[in-house]
Structure 1
Amino acid sequence: MRRLFPVTDQTDETAVREWGLGELADAYAYPTGKGAWLRANMVSTLDGAAQHDGRSQPISSATDMRVFGTLRGIADAVVVGAETVRQEGYRPPRAREAFAERRAAAGQAVAPAIAIVTASLDLDFSLPLFAEPLVPTLVVTGAAAPAERIAAAEKAGAVVVTAGDGAGAEPRRVVRALAERGLTRLLTEGGPRLLGQFVAAGVLDELCLTVSPMVAAGDAQRIAGGPSMAVPERFELASVLEEAGFLFTRYRRT
Protein backbone atom coordinates (compact mmCIF):
# COMPACT_ATOMS: atom_id res chain seq x y z
CA MET A 1 0.00 0.00 0.00
CA ARG A 2 1.10 3.55 -0.64
CA ARG A 3 -0.33 6.98 0.09
CA LEU A 4 -1.20 9.05 -2.98
CA PHE A 5 -2.74 12.00 -1.14
CA PRO A 6 -1.71 13.96 0.84
CA VAL A 7 1.72 13.54 -0.75
CA THR A 8 4.35 12.22 1.70
CA ASP A 9 7.37 9.93 1.59
CA GLN A 10 4.84 7.05 1.59
CA THR A 11 3.84 8.08 -1.93
CA ASP A 12 7.13 6.74 -3.34
CA GLU A 13 6.56 3.65 -5.51
CA THR A 14 9.63 2.00 -3.97
CA ALA A 15 8.07 2.27 -0.48
CA VAL A 16 5.06 0.08 -1.33
CA ARG A 17 4.49 -2.45 1.48
CA GLU A 18 1.74 -3.90 3.60
CA TRP A 19 0.68 -1.46 6.28
CA GLY A 20 0.21 -2.69 9.83
CA LEU A 21 -3.20 -2.40 11.47
CA GLY A 22 -1.84 0.30 13.78
CA GLU A 23 -0.78 2.39 10.78
CA LEU A 24 -4.20 1.96 9.20
CA ALA A 25 -5.88 2.92 12.48
CA ASP A 26 -3.78 6.09 12.60
CA ALA A 27 -4.63 6.89 8.98
CA TYR A 28 -8.36 6.52 9.67
CA ALA A 29 -8.46 8.01 13.17
CA TYR A 30 -11.64 9.87 14.05
CA PRO A 31 -11.26 13.64 14.43
CA THR A 32 -11.11 14.88 18.00
CA GLY A 33 -13.41 17.45 19.56
CA LYS A 34 -16.16 16.98 16.97
CA GLY A 35 -18.81 15.20 19.07
CA ALA A 36 -20.73 12.55 17.13
CA TRP A 37 -19.03 11.70 13.83
CA LEU A 38 -20.75 9.48 11.26
CA ARG A 39 -18.56 7.91 8.60
CA ALA A 40 -19.61 5.46 5.92
CA ASN A 41 -17.50 2.67 4.48
CA MET A 42 -18.54 1.43 1.05
CA VAL A 43 -17.03 -0.21 -2.02
CA SER A 44 -17.91 0.50 -5.64
CA THR A 45 -16.78 -0.81 -9.02
CA LEU A 46 -15.53 1.55 -11.71
CA ASP A 47 -19.00 1.51 -13.28
CA GLY A 48 -20.80 2.28 -10.02
CA ALA A 49 -21.95 -1.12 -8.75
CA ALA A 50 -22.01 -1.37 -4.95
CA GLN A 51 -22.47 -5.15 -5.00
CA HIS A 52 -22.55 -8.20 -7.24
CA ASP A 53 -25.21 -10.89 -6.85
CA GLY A 54 -26.45 -9.04 -3.80
CA ARG A 55 -23.16 -9.00 -1.88
CA SER A 56 -20.16 -6.67 -1.69
CA GLN A 57 -17.52 -9.39 -1.23
CA PRO A 58 -17.07 -10.20 -4.97
CA ILE A 59 -15.90 -6.62 -5.69
CA SER A 60 -13.69 -6.35 -2.62
CA SER A 61 -10.10 -7.46 -1.90
CA ALA A 62 -7.97 -8.68 0.99
CA THR A 63 -6.68 -5.14 1.64
CA ASP A 64 -10.20 -3.73 1.45
CA MET A 65 -11.17 -6.21 4.15
CA ARG A 66 -8.21 -5.05 6.28
CA VAL A 67 -9.47 -1.48 5.98
CA PHE A 68 -12.99 -2.74 6.75
CA GLY A 69 -11.70 -4.47 9.90
CA THR A 70 -9.71 -1.41 10.94
CA LEU A 71 -12.68 0.92 10.61
CA ARG A 72 -14.69 -1.45 12.78
CA GLY A 73 -11.78 -1.78 15.18
CA ILE A 74 -11.79 1.93 16.04
CA ALA A 75 -15.57 2.57 15.98
CA ASP A 76 -17.95 2.75 18.95
CA ALA A 77 -20.84 1.40 16.91
CA VAL A 78 -21.50 -0.02 13.44
CA VAL A 79 -24.82 1.30 12.11
CA VAL A 80 -26.41 -0.95 9.51
CA GLY A 81 -29.77 -1.56 7.87
CA ALA A 82 -31.74 -4.73 8.56
CA GLU A 83 -31.65 -5.86 4.91
CA THR A 84 -27.85 -5.68 4.89
CA VAL A 85 -27.74 -7.70 8.12
CA ARG A 86 -29.82 -10.39 6.42
CA GLN A 87 -27.99 -10.36 3.07
CA GLU A 88 -24.44 -10.20 4.39
CA GLY A 89 -24.99 -12.63 7.29
CA TYR A 90 -23.78 -10.27 10.01
CA ARG A 91 -22.12 -11.77 13.05
CA PRO A 92 -21.05 -10.10 16.32
CA PRO A 93 -17.79 -8.12 16.06
CA ARG A 94 -14.96 -9.80 17.93
CA ALA A 95 -12.40 -8.27 20.24
CA ARG A 96 -9.11 -7.87 18.37
CA GLU A 97 -5.79 -7.66 20.14
CA ALA A 98 -4.47 -5.20 17.55
CA PHE A 99 -6.96 -2.57 18.73
CA ALA A 100 -7.31 -3.52 22.42
CA GLU A 101 -4.88 -0.95 23.84
CA ARG A 102 -6.21 1.81 21.59
CA ARG A 103 -9.82 1.06 22.56
CA ALA A 104 -9.02 0.90 26.27
CA ALA A 105 -7.20 4.25 26.14
CA ALA A 106 -10.22 5.81 24.41
CA GLY A 107 -12.64 4.37 26.99
CA GLN A 108 -14.32 2.15 24.39
CA ALA A 109 -15.86 -1.29 24.89
CA VAL A 110 -13.79 -4.30 23.82
CA ALA A 111 -15.62 -4.37 20.46
CA PRO A 112 -18.03 -2.09 18.61
CA ALA A 113 -21.75 -2.52 19.07
CA ILE A 114 -23.88 -3.36 16.04
CA ALA A 115 -26.79 -0.91 15.74
CA ILE A 116 -29.46 -2.23 13.36
CA VAL A 117 -31.81 0.37 11.93
CA THR A 118 -35.18 -1.22 11.21
CA ALA A 119 -38.87 -0.28 11.08
CA SER A 120 -40.33 -3.80 11.03
CA LEU A 121 -37.79 -5.54 13.31
CA ASP A 122 -38.03 -8.47 10.88
CA LEU A 123 -34.91 -10.11 12.29
CA ASP A 124 -33.96 -13.60 13.43
CA PHE A 125 -33.30 -13.06 17.12
CA SER A 126 -31.82 -16.56 17.51
CA LEU A 127 -28.74 -15.62 15.45
CA PRO A 128 -25.33 -15.15 17.12
CA LEU A 129 -25.63 -11.41 16.54
CA PHE A 130 -28.21 -11.44 19.34
CA ALA A 131 -27.35 -14.63 21.22
CA GLU A 132 -23.55 -14.28 21.47
CA PRO A 133 -22.44 -10.62 21.22
CA LEU A 134 -19.53 -9.31 23.28
CA VAL A 135 -21.40 -6.00 23.38
CA PRO A 136 -25.23 -5.99 23.34
CA THR A 137 -26.67 -5.49 19.88
CA LEU A 138 -28.80 -2.36 19.46
CA VAL A 139 -32.06 -2.30 17.52
CA VAL A 140 -32.83 1.27 16.44
CA THR A 141 -36.42 1.89 15.47
CA GLY A 142 -39.40 4.21 15.83
CA ALA A 143 -41.90 4.60 18.65
CA ALA A 144 -44.68 3.07 16.51
CA ALA A 145 -42.73 -0.09 15.59
CA PRO A 146 -44.59 -3.40 16.19
CA ALA A 147 -44.81 -3.91 19.95
CA GLU A 148 -44.52 -7.70 19.70
CA ARG A 149 -41.27 -7.42 17.73
CA ILE A 150 -39.85 -4.93 20.23
CA ALA A 151 -40.68 -7.40 23.00
CA ALA A 152 -39.02 -10.22 21.05
CA ALA A 153 -35.88 -8.12 20.55
CA GLU A 154 -35.66 -7.28 24.24
CA LYS A 155 -36.28 -10.91 25.23
CA ALA A 156 -33.34 -11.89 23.00
CA GLY A 157 -31.09 -9.47 24.90
CA ALA A 158 -31.02 -6.65 22.34
CA VAL A 159 -31.18 -3.03 23.47
CA VAL A 160 -34.04 -1.23 21.71
CA VAL A 161 -33.30 2.42 20.96
CA THR A 162 -36.17 4.70 19.93
CA ALA A 163 -35.13 7.28 17.35
CA GLY A 164 -38.35 8.36 15.65
CA ASP A 165 -42.02 9.01 16.29
CA GLY A 166 -43.32 6.77 13.50
CA ALA A 167 -42.61 3.12 12.72
CA GLY A 168 -39.09 3.82 11.51
CA ALA A 169 -36.06 5.67 12.80
CA GLU A 170 -35.18 9.19 11.63
CA PRO A 171 -31.55 9.65 10.51
CA ARG A 172 -30.79 12.71 12.64
CA ARG A 173 -32.33 11.12 15.69
CA VAL A 174 -30.36 7.89 15.09
CA VAL A 175 -27.09 9.81 15.38
CA ARG A 176 -28.34 11.79 18.39
CA ALA A 177 -29.70 8.73 20.22
CA LEU A 178 -26.46 6.79 19.80
CA ALA A 179 -24.38 9.78 20.87
CA GLU A 180 -26.51 10.06 24.02
CA ARG A 181 -25.42 6.51 24.84
CA GLY A 182 -21.79 7.56 24.52
CA LEU A 183 -21.43 6.11 21.02
CA THR A 184 -19.95 9.02 19.08
CA ARG A 185 -17.49 7.27 16.72
CA LEU A 186 -20.08 5.94 14.31
CA LEU A 187 -19.51 3.79 11.24
CA THR A 188 -22.23 2.85 8.77
CA GLU A 189 -21.75 0.02 6.28
CA GLY A 190 -25.05 0.66 4.52
CA GLY A 191 -26.83 -0.73 2.77
CA PRO A 192 -27.44 1.77 0.01
CA ARG A 193 -30.93 2.70 1.21
CA LEU A 194 -29.76 3.51 4.73
CA LEU A 195 -26.76 5.44 3.46
CA GLY A 196 -29.05 7.37 1.13
CA GLN A 197 -31.19 8.35 4.10
CA PHE A 198 -28.17 9.60 6.05
CA VAL A 199 -26.96 11.56 3.00
CA ALA A 200 -30.37 13.12 2.33
CA ALA A 201 -30.66 14.12 6.00
CA GLY A 202 -27.28 15.85 5.89
CA VAL A 203 -25.79 13.85 8.77
CA LEU A 204 -23.01 12.00 6.95
CA ASP A 205 -19.67 13.52 7.98
CA GLU A 206 -17.26 11.31 6.07
CA LEU A 207 -17.27 8.76 3.26
CA CYS A 208 -14.58 6.08 3.05
CA LEU A 209 -15.04 4.76 -0.48
CA THR A 210 -13.02 1.91 -1.93
CA VAL A 211 -12.92 2.17 -5.72
CA SER A 212 -12.56 -1.37 -7.04
CA PRO A 213 -10.72 -1.79 -10.39
CA MET A 214 -13.57 -3.90 -11.75
CA VAL A 215 -16.58 -3.41 -13.97
CA ALA A 216 -19.79 -5.33 -13.38
CA ALA A 217 -22.54 -3.90 -15.67
CA GLY A 218 -26.03 -5.10 -14.74
CA ASP A 219 -28.43 -3.19 -12.52
CA ALA A 220 -26.70 -3.40 -9.13
CA GLN A 221 -27.42 -0.59 -6.70
CA ARG A 222 -25.15 2.40 -6.24
CA ILE A 223 -23.64 2.98 -2.80
CA ALA A 224 -26.53 5.32 -1.85
CA GLY A 225 -30.17 4.95 -2.86
CA GLY A 226 -33.44 6.73 -2.32
CA PRO A 227 -34.72 10.08 -3.61
CA SER A 228 -32.31 12.57 -5.17
CA MET A 229 -31.17 15.55 -3.13
CA ALA A 230 -32.44 18.93 -4.25
CA VAL A 231 -28.83 20.12 -4.55
CA PRO A 232 -25.81 17.78 -4.56
CA GLU A 233 -23.66 18.25 -1.47
CA ARG A 234 -19.92 18.73 -1.91
CA PHE A 235 -17.34 16.76 0.09
CA GLU A 236 -13.59 17.42 0.10
CA LEU A 237 -10.86 14.86 -0.46
CA ALA A 238 -9.04 13.98 2.78
CA SER A 239 -6.80 11.09 1.70
CA VAL A 240 -6.16 8.44 -0.95
CA LEU A 241 -4.34 5.13 -0.44
CA GLU A 242 -3.62 2.66 -3.25
CA GLU A 243 -2.83 -1.02 -3.52
CA ALA A 244 -3.09 -3.37 -6.51
CA GLY A 245 -5.27 -0.90 -8.39
CA PHE A 246 -7.75 -0.44 -5.54
CA LEU A 247 -8.14 3.16 -4.40
CA PHE A 248 -9.03 3.73 -0.74
CA THR A 249 -10.45 7.24 -0.71
CA ARG A 250 -11.69 9.33 2.19
CA TYR A 251 -13.93 12.38 1.72
CA ARG A 252 -15.21 14.75 4.40
CA ARG A 253 -18.05 17.24 4.47
CA THR A 254 -16.74 20.64 3.41
Structure 2
Amino acid sequence: MRRLFPVTYETAAQPSGEAPGTDVTEREWELGELAEAYAYPAVSSPWLRANMVSTLDGAAQHEGRSQPISNAADMRIFGVLRGLADVVVVGAETVRQEGYRPARAREAFAARREAAGQGPAPAIAVVTASLGLDFSLPLFTSPLVPTLVLTGAAAPVERIAEAERAGATVVVAGDGTGVDPARAVSALGALGHTRLLTEGGPRLLGQFVAAGVLDEMCVTLSPMLAAGDAQRIAGGPSVPVPRRFELVSLLEEDGFLYGRYRRPGRQPE
Protein backbone atom coordinates (compact mmCIF):
# COMPACT_ATOMS: atom_id res chain seq x y z
CA MET A 1 0.00 0.00 0.00
CA ARG A 2 1.18 3.54 -0.67
CA ARG A 3 -0.08 6.98 0.31
CA LEU A 4 -0.91 9.25 -2.60
CA PHE A 5 -2.27 12.12 -0.50
CA PRO A 6 -1.13 13.85 1.60
CA VAL A 7 2.52 13.54 0.61
CA THR A 8 4.54 12.02 3.45
CA TYR A 9 8.21 12.59 2.60
CA GLU A 10 10.48 15.53 1.92
CA THR A 11 11.03 16.74 -1.64
CA ALA A 12 14.76 16.11 -1.27
CA ALA A 13 14.08 12.40 -0.77
CA GLN A 14 12.28 11.96 -4.08
CA PRO A 15 13.68 9.26 -6.34
CA SER A 16 15.38 10.58 -9.44
CA GLY A 17 12.98 11.27 -12.26
CA GLU A 18 9.83 11.30 -10.12
CA ALA A 19 7.50 14.27 -10.28
CA PRO A 20 7.46 16.56 -7.23
CA GLY A 21 4.93 15.42 -4.64
CA THR A 22 4.85 11.78 -5.74
CA ASP A 23 5.07 9.13 -2.99
CA VAL A 24 6.30 5.90 -4.57
CA THR A 25 6.83 3.92 -1.36
CA GLU A 26 4.77 0.73 -1.51
CA ARG A 27 4.78 -1.73 1.39
CA GLU A 28 2.52 -3.68 3.72
CA TRP A 29 0.99 -1.37 6.32
CA GLU A 30 0.67 -2.53 9.92
CA LEU A 31 -2.76 -2.36 11.56
CA GLY A 32 -1.47 0.36 13.88
CA GLU A 33 -0.47 2.53 10.91
CA LEU A 34 -3.90 2.11 9.34
CA ALA A 35 -5.51 2.94 12.70
CA GLU A 36 -3.52 6.18 12.82
CA ALA A 37 -4.42 6.99 9.23
CA TYR A 38 -8.14 6.53 9.98
CA ALA A 39 -8.23 7.86 13.56
CA TYR A 40 -11.42 9.70 14.51
CA PRO A 41 -10.95 13.44 15.03
CA ALA A 42 -11.14 14.81 18.57
CA VAL A 43 -14.77 15.92 18.93
CA SER A 44 -17.21 15.95 21.84
CA SER A 45 -20.37 15.34 19.78
CA PRO A 46 -21.08 12.32 17.55
CA TRP A 47 -18.98 12.00 14.39
CA LEU A 48 -20.67 9.91 11.69
CA ARG A 49 -18.36 8.15 9.26
CA ALA A 50 -19.47 5.98 6.33
CA ASN A 51 -17.49 3.20 4.68
CA MET A 52 -18.50 1.85 1.29
CA VAL A 53 -16.98 0.23 -1.80
CA SER A 54 -17.86 1.05 -5.41
CA THR A 55 -16.81 -0.27 -8.82
CA LEU A 56 -15.58 2.03 -11.59
CA ASP A 57 -19.08 2.05 -13.06
CA GLY A 58 -20.75 2.89 -9.75
CA ALA A 59 -21.98 -0.48 -8.50
CA ALA A 60 -22.02 -0.88 -4.71
CA GLN A 61 -22.77 -4.61 -4.93
CA HIS A 62 -22.59 -7.58 -7.25
CA GLU A 63 -25.51 -10.00 -7.04
CA GLY A 64 -26.62 -8.36 -3.81
CA ARG A 65 -23.31 -8.49 -1.92
CA SER A 66 -20.33 -6.17 -1.62
CA GLN A 67 -17.68 -8.87 -1.08
CA PRO A 68 -17.18 -9.70 -4.81
CA ILE A 69 -16.03 -6.13 -5.57
CA SER A 70 -13.76 -5.86 -2.52
CA ASN A 71 -10.21 -7.11 -1.89
CA ALA A 72 -7.99 -8.07 1.05
CA ALA A 73 -6.76 -4.52 1.73
CA ASP A 74 -10.31 -3.18 1.63
CA MET A 75 -11.31 -5.79 4.21
CA ARG A 76 -8.34 -4.84 6.41
CA ILE A 77 -9.48 -1.21 6.34
CA PHE A 78 -13.04 -2.42 7.02
CA GLY A 79 -11.73 -4.18 10.12
CA VAL A 80 -9.70 -1.16 11.24
CA LEU A 81 -12.69 1.16 10.94
CA ARG A 82 -14.72 -1.24 13.07
CA GLY A 83 -11.86 -1.48 15.54
CA LEU A 84 -11.98 2.30 16.02
CA ALA A 85 -15.77 2.73 16.25
CA ASP A 86 -18.09 2.86 19.26
CA VAL A 87 -21.01 1.62 17.21
CA VAL A 88 -21.64 0.34 13.68
CA VAL A 89 -24.93 1.57 12.20
CA VAL A 90 -26.45 -0.61 9.49
CA GLY A 91 -29.77 -0.97 7.71
CA ALA A 92 -31.99 -4.01 8.23
CA GLU A 93 -31.81 -5.06 4.58
CA THR A 94 -28.01 -5.09 4.71
CA VAL A 95 -28.16 -7.21 7.87
CA ARG A 96 -30.29 -9.74 5.99
CA GLN A 97 -28.29 -9.70 2.73
CA GLU A 98 -24.79 -9.69 4.20
CA GLY A 99 -25.52 -12.08 7.08
CA TYR A 100 -24.33 -9.70 9.79
CA ARG A 101 -22.82 -11.15 12.92
CA PRO A 102 -21.76 -9.46 16.18
CA ALA A 103 -18.55 -7.44 16.10
CA ARG A 104 -15.70 -9.32 17.77
CA ALA A 105 -12.97 -8.13 20.10
CA ARG A 106 -9.56 -7.93 18.44
CA GLU A 107 -6.36 -8.05 20.43
CA ALA A 108 -4.70 -5.60 18.05
CA PHE A 109 -7.15 -2.88 19.13
CA ALA A 110 -7.56 -3.81 22.80
CA ALA A 111 -5.08 -1.28 24.23
CA ARG A 112 -6.24 1.48 21.91
CA ARG A 113 -9.91 0.92 22.80
CA GLU A 114 -9.17 0.76 26.53
CA ALA A 115 -7.20 4.03 26.36
CA ALA A 116 -10.13 5.66 24.54
CA GLY A 117 -12.61 4.45 27.17
CA GLN A 118 -14.31 2.08 24.72
CA GLY A 119 -15.70 -1.39 25.28
CA PRO A 120 -14.00 -4.48 23.84
CA ALA A 121 -15.89 -4.24 20.53
CA PRO A 122 -18.32 -1.87 18.83
CA ALA A 123 -22.03 -2.39 19.22
CA ILE A 124 -24.09 -3.05 16.09
CA ALA A 125 -27.06 -0.70 15.69
CA VAL A 126 -29.71 -1.91 13.22
CA VAL A 127 -32.01 0.69 11.66
CA THR A 128 -35.44 -0.78 10.98
CA ALA A 129 -39.01 0.49 10.69
CA SER A 130 -40.82 -2.86 10.82
CA LEU A 131 -38.35 -4.82 12.98
CA GLY A 132 -38.65 -7.58 10.37
CA LEU A 133 -35.53 -9.31 11.63
CA ASP A 134 -34.66 -12.82 12.79
CA PHE A 135 -34.03 -12.28 16.48
CA SER A 136 -32.77 -15.84 16.91
CA LEU A 137 -29.55 -14.99 15.05
CA PRO A 138 -26.23 -14.58 16.93
CA LEU A 139 -26.31 -10.84 16.20
CA PHE A 140 -29.06 -10.61 18.81
CA THR A 141 -28.61 -13.66 21.03
CA SER A 142 -24.86 -13.73 21.61
CA PRO A 143 -23.13 -10.39 20.91
CA LEU A 144 -20.14 -9.32 22.96
CA VAL A 145 -21.87 -5.94 23.31
CA PRO A 146 -25.72 -5.82 23.24
CA THR A 147 -27.09 -5.07 19.78
CA LEU A 148 -29.10 -1.85 19.39
CA VAL A 149 -32.29 -1.62 17.35
CA LEU A 150 -33.15 1.88 16.11
CA THR A 151 -36.79 2.31 15.17
CA GLY A 152 -39.75 4.70 15.31
CA ALA A 153 -42.28 5.33 18.05
CA ALA A 154 -45.03 3.62 16.04
CA ALA A 155 -43.09 0.40 15.42
CA PRO A 156 -45.01 -2.86 16.09
CA VAL A 157 -45.17 -3.36 19.86
CA GLU A 158 -44.95 -7.14 19.62
CA ARG A 159 -41.79 -6.92 17.54
CA ILE A 160 -40.21 -4.51 20.01
CA ALA A 161 -40.99 -6.96 22.81
CA GLU A 162 -39.45 -9.82 20.81
CA ALA A 163 -36.29 -7.80 20.18
CA GLU A 164 -35.95 -7.03 23.87
CA ARG A 165 -36.53 -10.66 24.85
CA ALA A 166 -33.66 -11.58 22.52
CA GLY A 167 -31.40 -9.20 24.45
CA ALA A 168 -31.40 -6.22 22.08
CA THR A 169 -31.69 -2.63 23.30
CA VAL A 170 -34.47 -0.82 21.42
CA VAL A 171 -33.89 2.91 20.82
CA VAL A 172 -36.74 5.10 19.54
CA ALA A 173 -35.41 7.65 17.05
CA GLY A 174 -38.48 8.73 15.10
CA ASP A 175 -42.09 9.79 15.61
CA GLY A 176 -43.67 7.35 13.15
CA THR A 177 -42.54 3.89 12.10
CA GLY A 178 -39.39 5.18 10.45
CA VAL A 179 -36.13 6.46 11.88
CA ASP A 180 -35.11 10.12 11.62
CA PRO A 181 -31.37 10.21 10.73
CA ALA A 182 -30.58 13.25 12.88
CA ARG A 183 -32.43 11.79 15.85
CA ALA A 184 -30.61 8.48 15.39
CA VAL A 185 -27.22 10.22 15.57
CA SER A 186 -28.35 12.24 18.60
CA ALA A 187 -29.77 9.15 20.36
CA LEU A 188 -26.53 7.23 19.89
CA GLY A 189 -24.61 10.20 21.22
CA ALA A 190 -26.84 10.28 24.29
CA LEU A 191 -25.83 6.65 24.94
CA GLY A 192 -22.18 7.72 24.95
CA HIS A 193 -21.38 6.71 21.37
CA THR A 194 -19.48 9.50 19.61
CA ARG A 195 -17.46 7.46 17.09
CA LEU A 196 -20.16 6.32 14.68
CA LEU A 197 -19.60 4.15 11.61
CA THR A 198 -22.22 3.26 9.02
CA GLU A 199 -21.61 0.45 6.54
CA GLY A 200 -24.85 0.99 4.63
CA GLY A 201 -26.68 -0.14 2.84
CA PRO A 202 -27.16 2.41 0.08
CA ARG A 203 -30.65 3.41 1.22
CA LEU A 204 -29.52 4.15 4.77
CA LEU A 205 -26.46 6.07 3.58
CA GLY A 206 -28.69 8.09 1.26
CA GLN A 207 -30.86 9.05 4.23
CA PHE A 208 -27.85 10.23 6.21
CA VAL A 209 -26.62 12.24 3.21
CA ALA A 210 -30.04 13.83 2.62
CA ALA A 211 -30.30 14.77 6.31
CA GLY A 212 -26.88 16.45 6.22
CA VAL A 213 -25.54 14.48 9.20
CA LEU A 214 -22.71 12.59 7.48
CA ASP A 215 -19.34 13.95 8.63
CA GLU A 216 -16.96 11.67 6.77
CA MET A 217 -17.01 9.37 3.75
CA CYS A 218 -14.51 6.53 3.39
CA VAL A 219 -14.89 5.00 -0.04
CA THR A 220 -12.95 2.27 -1.81
CA LEU A 221 -12.87 2.59 -5.59
CA SER A 222 -12.60 -0.93 -6.96
CA PRO A 223 -10.93 -1.30 -10.40
CA MET A 224 -13.79 -3.45 -11.65
CA LEU A 225 -16.74 -3.06 -14.01
CA ALA A 226 -19.99 -4.76 -13.03
CA ALA A 227 -22.69 -3.28 -15.33
CA GLY A 228 -26.18 -4.48 -14.47
CA ASP A 229 -28.57 -2.55 -12.26
CA ALA A 230 -26.78 -2.74 -8.90
CA GLN A 231 -27.36 0.10 -6.46
CA ARG A 232 -24.94 2.96 -6.02
CA ILE A 233 -23.33 3.46 -2.61
CA ALA A 234 -26.09 5.95 -1.70
CA GLY A 235 -29.71 5.71 -2.79
CA GLY A 236 -32.99 7.52 -2.27
CA PRO A 237 -34.02 10.98 -3.46
CA SER A 238 -31.34 13.40 -4.61
CA VAL A 239 -30.36 16.39 -2.49
CA PRO A 240 -31.32 19.86 -3.81
CA VAL A 241 -27.65 20.78 -4.31
CA PRO A 242 -24.80 18.23 -4.37
CA ARG A 243 -22.72 18.47 -1.20
CA ARG A 244 -18.98 18.82 -1.67
CA PHE A 245 -16.59 17.03 0.72
CA GLU A 246 -12.86 17.68 1.18
CA LEU A 247 -10.22 15.03 0.48
CA VAL A 248 -8.36 14.07 3.69
CA SER A 249 -6.27 11.15 2.46
CA LEU A 250 -5.88 8.78 -0.48
CA LEU A 251 -4.21 5.36 -0.37
CA GLU A 252 -3.61 2.88 -3.20
CA GLU A 253 -2.90 -0.83 -3.47
CA ASP A 254 -3.19 -3.18 -6.42
CA GLY A 255 -5.22 -0.64 -8.38
CA PHE A 256 -7.76 -0.07 -5.59
CA LEU A 257 -8.06 3.50 -4.28
CA TYR A 258 -9.00 4.15 -0.64
CA GLY A 259 -10.26 7.69 -0.17
CA ARG A 260 -11.22 9.54 2.98
CA TYR A 261 -13.34 12.69 2.64
CA ARG A 262 -14.60 15.13 5.29
CA ARG A 263 -17.55 17.51 5.39
CA PRO A 264 -16.31 21.12 5.16
CA GLY A 265 -16.93 23.12 8.31
CA ARG A 266 -16.88 20.12 10.64
CA GLN A 267 -13.38 20.19 12.01
CA PRO A 268 -11.63 18.58 15.00
CA GLU A 269 -11.95 20.56 18.22
Asked if 1:61 is matched to 2:71, the reply is yes
1:130 alignment counterpart: 140
Asked if 1:83 is matched to 2:93, the reply is yes
Which 4+ residue blocks in structure 1 deviate beyond 3 angstroms? none
Asked if 1:119 is matched to 2:129, the reply is yes
Which of 109, 113, 118 is 2:119 aligned to?
Answer: 109
In the TM superposition, residue 33 of structure 1 has moved relative to its aligned partner by: 2.4
Paired residues, number: 253
In the TM superposition, residue 100 of structure 1 has moved relative to its aligned partner by: 0.3
The structure with more radius of gyration: 2
1:4 alignment counterpart: 4
Q: Report the TM-score, using the length of structure 2 for normalisation.
A: 0.93
In the TM superposition, residue 35 of structure 1 has moved relative to its aligned partner by: 1.6
Q: How many Å separate the matches in 1 of 2:43 and 2:77?
A: 24
Which of 203, 208, 212 is 2:222 aligned to?
Answer: 212
1:224 alignment counterpart: 234
Asked if 1:50 is matched to 2:42, the reply is no
Q: String of CA shifts for 1:31-84, please: whole Å, max 9, x gaps.
A: 002521000000000000000000000000000000000000000000000000
In the TM superposition, residue 8 of structure 1 has moved relative to its aligned partner by: 1.1
Q: How many Å separate the matches in 2 of 1:133 and 1:9?
A: 43
SS in 2 for 1:9: coil
Q: How many Å separate the matches in 2 of 1:118 and 1:126?
A: 16
% of aligned pairs identical? Answer: 77
SS in 1 for 2:39: coil
Cα RMSD, aligned residues only: 1.0
Q: Which amino acid aligns with 1:182?
A: G
Q: Which amino acid aligns with 1:26?
A: E
SS in 2 for 1:8: coil
2:209 alignment counterpart: 199
Q: How many Å separate the matches in 2 of 1:55 and 1:44?
A: 12
Q: How many Å separate the matches in 1 of 2:45 and 2:141?
A: 31
Q: How many Å separate the matches in 1 of 2:262 and 2:36?
A: 17
Q: How many Å separate the matches in 2 of 1:33 and 1:89?
A: 32
Q: Decide whether the 8 Å contact of 2:44 with 2:194 is kept in 1.
A: no
Q: Which amino acid aligns with 1:110?
A: P
Q: Which runs of 5+ in 2 are unaligned?
A: 11-21, 265-269
2:150 alignment counterpart: 140
Which of 161, 169, 181 is 1:159 aligned to?
Answer: 169
SS in 2 for 1:210: strand
Q: Which runs of 5+ in 1 are unaligned?
A: none
Q: Which amino acid aligns with 1:151?
A: A
Q: String of CA shifts for 1:136-170, please: whole Å, max 9, x gaps.
A: 00000001000000000000000000101100110
Q: How many Å separate the matches in 2 of 1:35 and 1:5?
A: 27
Q: Report the TM-score, using the length of structure 1 for normalisation.
A: 0.98
More deviation, 33-42/135-144? 33-42
Please give the residue correspondences for 1:26-45 in structure 2 after superposition, counting only pairs within 5 Å: 26-45=36-55
